Structure 1
Amino acid sequence: MPGPWDRGAPCGRSQGHPRAIFTTPSSLSNQSAAPKFMIGAETEHNYEVFRECLSELITFRLAPTKERRRVKGRKNEIKPVAKEQDQEDAAEELGDFIDYLATEIYDSLPHDLKRLDYHGTQNDSTLKEMYSTPLDSEVYDTITATLPPTVLDSFEVYSLLPPTVDLSRLLEPVFTPYINSVTAAPPEHDYQVRATECEICDRGHLPLTYHHLIPRQMHAKAVKRGWAKEWELQKVAWLCRACHSFVHRIAGNEELAKELNSVERLMEREEVRNWGKWVGRIRWKKT
């Protein structure tokens, strides 16, 4: 019996969605097994975000329709395992197809879009304006103009592209969340994004305080000397009181602003790591 993703029959429609019939053609399987390019470390995160956004679109459009309610069988009835195995195989094939399609599209994107991040948009007003969402039609046209023909073919073969919608509009729900996600401010830039554990000792269930990674007294000097940009001044780390006090004991305001202005830089200090390991062993009994 064909699985829910088996494309052995033409694609039908139900409730506005194509029926879930899926099998990756051998031509696509071969291409997905050998992607045209390797994802570099500097773009790996962005690629994974893009793949998730594309996956949401594809799985929604290929979601299985509800089956008719079946008559309940006997408790000791032998359940067929073939269908379950078919579904697992089909799901694996669907994952390969999404991976292939994400690679094809991502490889063709403009260089700056592939490497888009919060810091880049804060440092480049032109870049920030270009990729502000919702994207302008001209920007969409530029992006989709470089897509390989195999992408459009894939969307048409699997009825992912409705007749009344062009490819740029279809991919809008992919690019919008992708851009919003990769350009979002990291937690350290927003003190309202509260951590649940101390960022040095990893202890939870403790009152946390936010430590200004660039002390307020050093804001003007930090910008003037080039230690930080204006938009970086409000970065914070969530620390327990013990770790917060420790940080201020090992360095003055200027050193904090110049050398220790991120959690990563703090944790590069051996004394900070040793302190975190030691104080992290101190746990309070539940009351």
Structure 2
Amino acid sequence: MSSTEDTTAQSSIFKDCLARRVIAQPALSDTPDASSSSSSGSDLDEFISYLASEVWETLPSQLRALTHEHPVIDVDADALSLATIPGSFTDTLVSYGIAADPDSACDFLRSVLRDYVDEARAPPPAWSSTRTSECEICERDVPLTYHHLIPRSTHTKVLKRKWHPESLLNSVAWLCRPCHSAVHGIATNEELAREYYTIELLLTREDIQKWKKYASKQRWGVRRG
């Protein structure tokens, strides 16, 4: 993969991480397209694309080139500060109530970047080149990962408390990497195991519906495997 493709792939990951954080904010009801169930989602996509484009090129080069082959970057220890973040980015977050003030906007960006570092450094799944069916959330025909609907870390508790029969423990859903990350971002493993152990239950959540609407419009540009 060329350096240009690397940059495109990583900027796509960053944009998705930013989108998840924006969509999760209560103030989203005031942002473009958030309250319209009949809209195509293009306004929200444009809003997030604008935010991502404003800040992406200002980030340290080692962040923008990050892959699973690079060492961990400590975002909190990095030189990221209000002085390095475009005023247009912080002003927009404050204007839409996503952040209370410029300092909060900086904290918000750090949260996005922590998500980005985790995802950008995730090793490519060995099965990605063999899976071509649609993601069960965004319905895009893209490389998939498998999501344990009842996270393995909860199996002992699930059986002890009789939440589900043992036969359900190894249920999986096939999700693209951005949707997989979105699912794990909306609830703890215990909550996923107890309350959202099927795709149908996950799709009853408003935040997952908002994420699905956003993700389904994204052009797949991240090469894995």
TM-score for the superposition, normalised by structure 1? 0.38
Structure with more contact order per residue of length (Cα contacts < 8 Å, sep ≥ 6): 2
TM-score for the superposition, normalised by structure 2? 0.47
Bigger Rg over Cα: 1
